[in-house]
A and B are shown apart, each in its own frame.
Chain A
Amino acid sequence: GENVEQHPSTLSVQEGDSAVIKCTYSDSASNYFPWYKQELGKRPQLIIDIRSNVGEKKDQRIAVTLNKTAKHFSLHITETQPEDSAVYFCAASGGAGGTSYGKLTFGQGTILTVHP
């Protein structure tokens, strides 16, 4: 089955700096890569996602890049703010078709702390 590795496990930055979180996946059939943000005691919430036919996607201060050949994808947050502090999870899926049924395999999570 799919295996997703996420690094680093913790990341501490100063407000205004950039933050980068990296994930690798093992199944070359995976074609959907969402990123979730989870605040303490809350549910995971989708912040951005990318499909395998796209190399990069950006939404304001957040961007995701995908390298299918190397089987890795990264989350980039620019101009970080204290409210960006949370746990971030990457995930991979073979899509909702075939036998994948949209199942997600998650990375272990990154605790991001943004210091004012």
Chain B
Amino acid sequence: NAGVTQTPKFRVLKTGQSMTLLCAQDMNHEYMYWYRQDPGMGLRLIHYSVGEGTTAKGEVPDGYNVSRLKKQNFLLGLESAAPSQTSVYFCASRPLPNSGPQETQYFGPGTRLLVL
């Protein structure tokens, strides 16, 4: 099992450009999440999905959109990147409740994004 994977690993964008970050998991998890991590602020939830075809806003959703067309993939889009979106982005997934002892989130390796 590859677990949770993210592409790309690193990207530089110019202000106003768009891009899509891909998260994939092979653990058949229902729930998936996108976080951003900034120095001194921990991880903050951007959007999440509780199943294929569903998405919901998290704590800091502005400037981002997401889609979950397939259960194993969760895409994060930036339509018009801004310098404030410079961050490290982590995807995570977890199984449904009562599905086993490890009911916690499993994280991907992260994507470093620099917006100039």
Given contacts A1-B59, A95-B97, A102 and B42 within 8 Å (CB-CB): no
* A interface, over-half SS: loop
B33 touches A44 (CB 8 A): no
Q: Which of B45-104 contact A (CB under 8 A)?
A: 45, 48, 50, 56, 58-59, 90, 94, 96-97, 102-104
- A42 to B6 CA separation, bound complex (whole angstroms): 13
Does A43 lie within 8 Å of B90, measured CB to CB?
Answer: yes
Contact across chains for B43 and A106 when beta carbons are under 8 A apart: yes
Q: A4: which B residues are within 8 A, CB to CB? A: 42
Does A97 sit at the interface, judged by CB under 8 A?
yes
Chain A residues positioned under 8 Å from B107 (CB to CB)? 43-45
* Dominant secondary structure of chain B at its interface with chain A: loop
Of the candidates B41, B59, B108, B109, the one whose C-beta lies within 8 Å of that of A108 is: B41
Complex interface: chain B residues within 8 A of A89 (CB)? 42-43
Contact B90 A44 (CB under 8 A): yes
> How many residues on the B side are at the interface (Cβ–Cβ under 8 A)?
25
Q: Report the Cα distance A42→B31, complex, angstroms.
A: 22
Give the nearest-CB partner of B4 in chain A.
A43
Taking a contact as CB atoms under 8 Å apart, the answer to whether B40 and A108 are in contact is yes
Q: Which residues of B contact A103 (CB under 8 A)?
A: 33, 45, 48, 58
Which of B41, B59, B96, B109 interacts with A42 by CB under 8 Å? B109
Using Cβ atoms and an 8 Å threshold, which residues of chain B touch A1? 59
Cβ of A46 within 8 Å of any chain B Cβ, yes or no, is: yes
Q: Which of A42, A97, A105 contacts B97 (CB 8 A)?
A: A97
The answer, among A45, A46, A102, A106, for a CB contact under 8 Å with B31, is: A102
Residue contacts A-B, CB under 8 angstroms, 19 given: A1-B59, A6-B42, A32-B103, A34-B104, A42-B109, A43-B90, A95-B97, A96-B31, A96-B96, A96-B97, A96-B103, A97-B97, A101-B56, A102-B105, A103-B58, A104-B45, A104-B105, A106-B43, A106-B44
Interface residues of chain B, those whose CB is within 8 Å of chain A, are: 31, 33, 40-45, 48, 50, 56, 58-59, 90, 94, 96-97, 102-105, 107-110
Taking A97-B97, A102-B105 as given, write out 15 further A-B residue pairs in contact, using a Cβ cutoff of 8 Å, ordered by the A residue number.
A42-B109, A43-B107, A43-B108, A89-B43, A95-B97, A96-B97, A102-B31, A102-B97, A102-B103, A103-B45, A103-B58, A104-B45, A106-B42, A106-B43, A109-B42
